[in-house]
A and B are shown apart, each in its own frame.
Chain A
Amino acid sequence: MQGNNNMKVSFDARSVNEAFARVTVAAFIAELNPTIDEVEDIKTAVSEAVTNAIIHAYDSPGEPVQLSCALKGNVVEIEVLDTGKGIGDVKKAMEPFYTTKPELERSGMGFAFMEAFMDDVRVTSAEGEGTRVWMCKTIGVQEG
């Protein structure tokens, strides 16, 4: 039975930090002995959330993205925070294939991936203030 554990890091909104973010979370959750598949699911979800913050939150690179992770028993909770533009219509932003940046060939599947790979995803946002993505996944519960 694992106890609780928390971590928090802040990094510049630069694309090179996408890999840093997902690898950091993967290392942090290792104490729960997740399967390779669970680790990869979480890495993908973190990558999606952090990439969203990097691409959409700020007009110039170098602004902060905060990533935190909490282990509660066998539950992993992840929060990705930015203090950028915010999302006007969160429901619309979460629709599959919706993207505000088709010119960058964004697939519009970021939130769909987070929802597919995590147990729960919650997004709160305020225009001009920033966006918070919270998601969780229980480790050790194999699907069918």
Chain B
Amino acid sequence: MEKYCEMQAGRLVIYVPRELDHHEAGRLKMEADLLIDAYHVKNLVFDFSNTEFMDSSGIGVIIGRCRNIGYYGGEAVAQNLNDRVKKIFRVSGLHTLIPTVETGKNRQKGNGSI
């Protein structure tokens, strides 16, 4: 089973799966919230290197996790969005809530976007 979350130097990195829909959302939420609570996570990184599809269920997941780290005074960023995910961020207005960054690193090949 693919691992979604990893603690890295006090930050929680969430590797968003290839397709983030309502079906995938449940396990990701559970895994992330366990770590957020256990480590009182303040810095959250959503890594979209591997993500090709996301619908509005994904928006709910992201906003929900941002709210949860908000209890600990935390901040979130989203990194390595392909054009499709950027479009979803734009249409939903999520880009005004979460800063997006490019690290130039892809988790695996075949990311699709150029």
**Which residues of A pack against B, CB within 8 Å?**
15-16, 18-19, 22, 37, 40, 43-44, 47-48, 51, 54-55, 104-107, 109-110, 112-113, 116-117
Contact = CB atoms under 8 A, between A and B. Distances in A.
25 contacts: A15-B23, A15-B26, A19-B23, A40-B53, A40-B84, A43-B53, A44-B88, A47-B21, A47-B55, A48-B56, A51-B21, A51-B22, A51-B55, A104-B60, A105-B25, A105-B60, A105-B61, A106-B56, A106-B57, A106-B60, A109-B56, A109-B92, A110-B56, A112-B56, A113-B91
* A interface secondary structure, majority: helix
Contacts of A117: 91
Interface string B75-114: 0000000001001100110000000000000000000000
A105 B55 contact: no
Interface of B: 19, 21-23, 25-26, 29, 53, 55-57, 59-61, 63-64, 84, 87-88, 91-92
A82 to B, nearest CB: 15
B38 to A, nearest CB: 20
A47 B64 CA distance: 20
Contacts of B26: 15
Contact of B55 (A44, A55, A104): A44
Contacts of B21: 15, 18-19, 47, 51
